[in-house]
Amino acid sequence: MENILDRFLRYVAIDTQSNEESESQPSTAKQLNLLSLLCQELQAMGVEAQLDEYGYVMGRIPSNIGTKVPAVGFIAHVDTAPDASGADIKPQIINEYDGGEIPLNGVPGLSLKPSEFPEMLNYVGQKLVTTDGTTLLGADDKAGVAEIMDAVQYIMANPEFKHGEIRIGFTPDEEIGRGVVKFDVQKFNADYAYTMDGGEVGELEFENFNAASARIHIQGRNVHPGYAKGKMKNALHIAQELDSLLPVEQRPEYTEGYEGFFHLIGLNGAVEEADMTYIIRDHDRAKFEEKKQVIVRCCDFINGKYGEGTASPAVKDQYYNMREMVEPHYQVIEKAVKAMEMAGVKAKIQPIRGGTDGANLSFKGLPCPNIFAGGLNFHGKMEFVPVPSMEKASKVILNIISLFCE
C-alpha cells in the first residue's frame, strides 16, 4: 500500500505541462507519460481501464452490492499550467510547519511568507509540500490525481467496502481550456461525477465563470518618425488607448467573489501592427454577454477614430457557468457536504473564480461539481499543499461512494 505523499511525489516528477499554441490532442505528448502510467497502475490494481487516442484514461470498478444505485465518477486532470515550468520539480517537505517563513532553497532569498500568504497559518503543525522556488509544484491537479488513486487503492484492497458502480477519469489539457473537448460522456457512463480540482481543504463549488477569449488585431501605419506628423498610426499606442477604454475597476486585481473582469494577458507587436489577448469572465450570464459587447464597442470606437479595420476583434466563448446544470441535481452537493462532515471537514460552498472540466462536462449532460484537492497558490513558484488535506480529500471520495449506496 503506497501512501498518498509518495504517490503524489511520483506524479509531480513527470513533466506534463500543456501548450495552448499546439493544435494536437493532447496538446503535448509528454502528458501521455503520466496518463499511460495511471492506466497501467489502475489495471495493476484490478480496475478495468483504457487510455484512448485523445489521452483520456477511463476506469470502471463494478458494483459489489445487489441493489442498483447511481454510478458515480471522479475526475482529475494531469496537465500543469503553462504559466510556470513543470519540468525538473524539486519538492521540499516541511514535516511540522512552525508558522514561520519557509525558504525556497532553489532561489536564494525567496521564501513563502505568512505575511504575504496568511492562509499558511491554517496549517501550523502539519506536513507541507512546497516548491524549491524554481518551478510550480503541480498540486493542480496531481494532488487530485493522487487522491483518486489513493481511494481506488483502498477500494481494491478492501473488498468488504460496499460501493455501487464507480468511474475514474483522467484528462489532459484542462489548463488550456480543452480538457474534455473530446471526452465521451456516454462511454464514461456515470450518472454523476466530481472533479477533484479545487483549492484548499473544504472547498466545494458548483458555480464557475462564464468565459470567453478575445483576440484583437491592431493595424497601424509605420512612417519614418522624422516625417510622421499626421501620417503615423502607432499600433502600440492604439492598443494602449483601447485598453484604457475598458473599466479599470473590472480588472482581476480589483475584483472578488461574483465580480467579473476583463484581463489583458498578452500584448505583442510594433508600430505597424499589434495583437492583444484578453480573457473575459463573469458568473452572471447577462453581464458576461454585455462584457463581450463592450469589447466590440471599444473596437468600433477605435475604428471610428483611426479608420475602419484598425481594430479587428475575434471573441470566442470557452465555457459557461455550470450552476444551471448542477443545481437541479442538488443531492450531489448535499452528499459532498455530508461526506466532508464525515471526514471532519467543514464545507465551504463558493463560486469558482475560474473554470474546471466539470463545467463543460455538466453541459454535456454529466452533473459534475468540484471538490477541494488541497493545494494553494496554484500556477506558480509559491504553490504548496498540506499532506493532511490530500488525505482528507481521499477520505471524502470514499465517503461519497458510501453515501451513494444508501
Q: What does 154-204 look like in DSSP terms, one character per residue?
A: HHHH-TTS----EEEEEES-GGGT-TTTT--HHHH--SEEEEEEESSTTEE
Residue spans of the domains in the chain: they are 4-207+321-404, 210-319
What is the predicted pLDDT for the residue at 318?
87
Profile the chain (406 residues) by mean pLDDT over runs of 10 residues: 97 96 96 98 98 98 95 98 94 98 97 97 98 97 98 98 98 93 97 96 95 97 97 98 98 95 97 97 97 98 98 94 95 98 96 87 96 96 98 98 95
- Give how far the C-alpha of residue 152 lies from the chain's centroid of Cα atoms, to the nearest Å: 22
Active site residues per annotation: 79, 174
Domain 4-207+321-404 has CATH 3.40.630.10: yes
Q: Are strands 311-319 and 210-219 parallel, antiparallel or unpaired?
A: antiparallel
Query: What pLDDT score was predicted for residue 356?
Result: 83
Instruction: Please tell me if the domain spanning 4-207+321-404 has the same topology as the one spanning 210-319.
Output: no
Q: Which CATH architecture has domain 210-319?
A: 2-Layer Sandwich (3.30)
What pLDDT, on the 0 to 100 scale, is given for residue 353?
Answer: 87
| Res 161: pLDDT | 97
> What is residue 28's three-state secondary structure?
coil
**pTM for the full predicted model:** 0.88
